[in-house]
Structures are given as C-alpha cells and as structure tokens.
Structure 1
C-alpha cells in the first residue's frame, strides 16, 4: 500500500495540494503545461489503483 493510501489520501493528490499551497502562500504561477500535468495526477493514480486491484 502506498503512503498516500495508508494516510487517507485516496486519490494520491499530495502533489496537487503542494502546488495549491505554493500558489496560495508563495505566489507561484502555474502555466498551461502545469495545469495539464496536474490533471494527469489523479488520472494516473486512479489507473494505478485499478491495475493493482
């Protein structure tokens, strides 16, 4: 079981949450590529969970 699943993050969205904090607190900017990659994080996690079960 992954760390994300063990700690109650069912979608493995830690990278997205980290990006949100960076944007909100650090004033980071996110471009179109960053948004596209951000959309792939939950999709990849979902696919991996389906393959593992």
Structure 2
C-alpha cells in the first residue's frame, strides 16, 4: 500500500515537471496515477485530481 502511495506521488511529480510541449507524456503520468488511486478505491481523490487538472 505504501509502495502505491509513493508511486502515485512520484507520478504526480513527473506530471507536474513535464514540459508543456509534451502533453501526451504528462497525461500518461496522470492516467497511471489516477488508475492506481481508482484501483485502491480512492475514487474521490482521483476525481479531485482530474477536476483540478
């Protein structure tokens, strides 16, 4: 569980540091992070992240 939390944090950091001229790469990080959260049943957290982005 802690491993997934760390993975989500790392993916979101990578998403935030992705250059604007590489949107597909950034979105892949975001999709993976949201997928992990949804898989853990943390759908509200996943929804809030997507809503803000």
After TM superposition, the score normalised by the length of structure 2 is 0.42
Q: Which has the larger radius of gyration?
A: 1
Name the structure where helix makes up a greater proportion of residues.
2
Q: Which has the higher contact order (CA 8 A, sep 6+)?
A: 1
